[in-house]
């Protein structure tokens, strides 16, 4: 993680810098995000400290927040809380958007083939193969948190390995995870 903490019209102490870095690491671990760039700028104007924070993640999400207070630590804590709220909100909206997308799959976008019996006649049960053109890019923990009573199975692209993964609710109500390992075939 690239981390920078600078000050305008003030010097940032080592204690505040270390606290900020540790808090960012804990926030990334809490939401299973990998921060690749964290930039914090704190400025002092008279007796007011204003913190501006920009965060970029490996999953190409970007967050920005600003907070002002009479104390530099309170200013930083406020901006970190705003970033955390943005991450939580985006995580929830991503799950609900994915749920909506799963519900919106219509029969028009499906291929319907009649099943064929061994003697070549059409069978009773049609085979429906639905096509999803893009898979959401999620961490395993984000995908698992998307599961609910409506969504019992979720196919996604793992943000870490970029492989296709599946999370599902098992019969015992625990969450199962299938991580497909693709083998390269040499021809």
pLDDT at position 107 is 38
Q: What is the pLDDT of residues 51-64, one digit of tens each?
A: 999 999 887 888 99
Q: What is the pLDDT of residues 107-143, one digit of tens each?
A: 344 444 444 455 555 555 665 656 555 777 888 888 8
Which one has a higher pLDDT value, 57 or 95? 57
Per the confidence metrics, is the pTM higher than 0.75? no
What does the domain layout of the chain look like in residue ranges? 2-93, 105-179
- Above 50 in pLDDT, residue 105? no
Check if CATH label 3.30.160.100 holds for domain 2-93.
Answer: yes
Sign of CA dihedral 16, 77, 142, 137: negative
């Amino acid at each position: 993680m690239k981390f920078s903490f600078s000050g305008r019209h003030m010097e940032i102490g080592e204690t505040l810098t270390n606290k900020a870095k540790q808090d960012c690491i804990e926030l990334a671990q809490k939401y299973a995000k990998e921060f690749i760039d964290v930039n914090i700028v704190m400025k002092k104007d008279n007796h007011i400290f204003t913190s501006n924070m920009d965060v970029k993640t490996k999953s190409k999400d970007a967050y920005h927040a600003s907070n002002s207070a009479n104390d530099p630590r309170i200013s930083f804590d406020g901006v970190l809380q705003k970033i955390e709220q943005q991450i939580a909100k985006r995580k929830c909206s991503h799950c609900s958007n994915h749920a909506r997308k799963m519900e919106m799959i219509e029969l028009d976008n499906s291929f319907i083939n009649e099943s064929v019996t061994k003697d070549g006649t059409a069978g009773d049960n049609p085979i429906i193969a639905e096509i999803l053109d893009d898979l959401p890019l999620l961490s395993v923990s984000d995908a698992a948190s998307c599961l609910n009573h409506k969504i019992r199975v979720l196919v996604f692209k793992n943000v870490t390995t970029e492989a296709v993964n599946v999370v599902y609710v098992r019969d015992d109500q625990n969450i199962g995870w299938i991580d497909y390992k693709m083998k390269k075939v040499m021809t």
